[in-house]
Amino acid sequence: MKLLEMDYSQIESLMKDLGQGKFRAGQVMSWLKRGKTPDDMTNLAKPLRAALNEIGLGGVRVENAITSKDGSTKFLFRCEDHNAIEGVLMQYHHGGSLCLSTQAGCRMGCKFCASGENGLVRNLNVDELVGQVHAAMGHLGEGALNHMVLMGCGEPFDNYHNVVRFLRLMTDEKGYGFSPRNISLSTCGLVDRIYDFIEEKIPVVLCISLHAPNDAVRHEIMPISHRYRIEDVVKAARAYDTASGRRVIFEYILIKGVNDSPAQAKELARLTRGMRKHINLIPLNGDVGGWQAPGRQDCQRFLSVLKENGASATIRRTLADDIEGACGQLRRRVLQEEG
């Protein structure tokens, strides 16, 4: 097991095995959670640092980091087996938020999304999930992020067990100590997994990629809609709200001529009526599938109709537009360049 996938008690037993006092676990963890490596751990004796290097940190390496005009940083991370994954650190008034990947590729096949174009390569391991947070802090400094969103490449609930373990490490007070409310997980709506996740009792913010007001429209853009009906996705969202006490966020990409009419806005409001929620409207980014984002006015009109019909909604500000910020775009280019 690599250092980055260990929880506090596992580091404690490792220290014991290495003939060290248990208190060393706290020292090691406090370095790790600040993005540091064994060589940085100056309060440990050199032979102990060498032993930790021997075990290995795991995780991912920052191969490239590009900072955008708006202060976002796009990372290209490399796994040990050379798989490329990407993450983006976005700057908000509340601090930095890291968008991280959960899989290399994706098998959900959403027709507007670059991440799934070449299918799934593999799930990311726990140390590679933690490694993205660790590497971003190592690169930009420990204060660089206080939020994270699981919205990069991949479907988090298709890598369920590793993602749950990762979330436990991130929210453990003896571990990375993130508040669950500062972590968002975005899913295309794997209904069975939403119910499983309720049982885990890790009350992160759940975001659901709805993108359509009914199954007919959803069938055009999201193959997963053939497995789970939209009504059941919304029902699971309600269950999550009730169980976690946190309102769900519905994500809705606006695609010109596909899902952006006022009638569809009305239908979306009706579909999600009677529950706490927020609808995040995202004008389509990029040109995947040959579609386009609606014009500004059409986006505003969609928003107004939602509001008139009692739904809380906003249009998401686009960040990192100039640095291929949307899911899978950077990885796609790197794959193309590498042939």
**Residues designated catalytic:** 86, 327
Residues present in the chain in total:
339
The pair of structure tokens assigned to 111 is 């027709």
Q: Does the protein bind ligand SAH through residue 184 (CB under 6 A)?
A: no
For ligand SAH, the closer CB: 20 or 186: 186
Q: Which stretch binds ligand SAH (CB under 6 A): 16-24, 61-69, 239-247, 281-289?
A: 281-289
CB of 188 to ligand SAH, least distance (A): 4
| Identified binder of ligand SAH from the candidate list 90, 100, 151, 204, rule CB under 6 A | 151
The pair of structure tokens assigned to 333 is 């280019």
Q: Does the protein bind ligand SAH through residue 187 (CB under 6 A)?
A: yes
| Identified binder of ligand SAH from the candidate list 112, 160, 178, 240, rule CB under 6 A | 112
C-alpha span between 94 and 107 (Å, rounded): 33
**Judged by CB under 6 A, how many residues of this single chain contact ligand SAH?**
19
What DSSP letter does each residue of 42-79 carry, written as one string?
TTS-HHHHHHHHHH---S-EEEEEEE-TTS-EEEEEE-
Q: Does the protein bind ligand SAH through residue 285 (CB under 6 A)?
A: yes
C-alpha span between 262 and 242 (Å, rounded): 30
Residue 299: its H or E element: helix 296-308
CB of 326 to ligand SAH, least distance (A): 5
| Identified binder of ligand SAH from the candidate list 12, 86, 251, 324, rule CB under 6 A | 251
Q: Does the protein bind ligand SAH through residue 225 (CB under 6 A)?
A: no
Q: Which stretch binds ligand SAH (CB under 6 A): 51-59, 66-74, 231-239, 284-292?
A: 284-292
Q: Which stretch binds ligand SAH (CB under 6 A): 84-92, 120-128, 139-147, 183-191?
A: 183-191
For ligand SAH, the closer CB: 209 or 244: 209
Q: Does the protein bind ligand SAH through residue 282 (CB under 6 A)?
A: yes
C-alpha span between 291 and 304 (Å, rounded): 23
| Identified binder of ligand SAH from the candidate list 132, 326, 330, 332, rule CB under 6 A | 326
Q: Are 72 and 319 in contact (CB under 8 A)?
A: yes
CB of 228 to ligand SAH, least distance (A): 13
For ligand SAH, the closer CB: 131 or 286: 286
C-alpha span between 280 and 253 (Å, rounded): 8
For ligand SAH, the closer CB: 20 or 97: 97
For ligand SAH, the closer CB: 130 or 188: 188
C-alpha span between 326 and 337 (Å, rounded): 18
C-alpha span between 239 and 173 (Å, rounded): 27
Backbone angles phi, psi at 281, to 5 degrees: -90, 130
For ligand SAH, the closer CB: 253 or 330: 253
Instruction: Tell me how crowded residue 339 is: count the other CB atoms within 10 A of its CB.
Output: 4
CA 7 to each of CA 48, 134, 173, 276: distance values in angstroms, whole numbers, following the listed order: 18, 14, 11, 34
Query: Where do the H-state alpha helices sit in the chain?
Result: 8-17, 24-32, 46-55, 126-140, 160-171, 191-200, 215-221, 230-244, 262-271, 296-308, 329-338
- Interface residues with ligand SAH (CB under 6 A) are 108, 110, 112-113, 151, 155, 186-188, 209, 251, 253, 282, 284-286, 288, 326-327
